[in-house]
Structure formats: structure tokens, C-alpha cells
């Protein structure tokens, strides 16, 4: 079920943030519509 996928991804994301692992990927320097 998609809801379980989102719940699992949220758990993984929070664990990675707590462990300070991962790479921040910038999508853009400044928003086009700003």
C-alpha cells in the first residue's frame, strides 16, 4: 500500500537526520517564481 511506503520512508528519513547522514541536494539556487 502506498501509505506504508510513505510511513517507511518517513522512518528512514528521520533516522538519517538523527544520525546526521546523507547528502543535501540543492534543487535550485533561487526559485524562479520568487
Mean pLDDT, 10 residues at a time, the chain of 34 residues: 91 96 88 79
Q: Which letter does DSSP use for residue 5 in this model? A: H
pLDDT of residue 31: 81
pLDDT of residue 10: 95
Claim: this prediction has a pTM higher than 0.85:
no
pLDDT of residue 19: 97
Q: Which among 28, 15, 13, 29 is positioned nearest to 5, based on CA atoms?
A: 13
Amino acid at each position: 500500500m502506498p501509505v506504508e511506503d510513505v510511513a517507511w520512508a518517513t522512518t528512514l528519513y528521520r533516522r538519517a537526520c538523527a544520525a546526521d547522514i546523507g547528502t543535501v541536494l540543492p534543487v535550485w539556487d533561487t526559485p524562479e517564481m520568487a
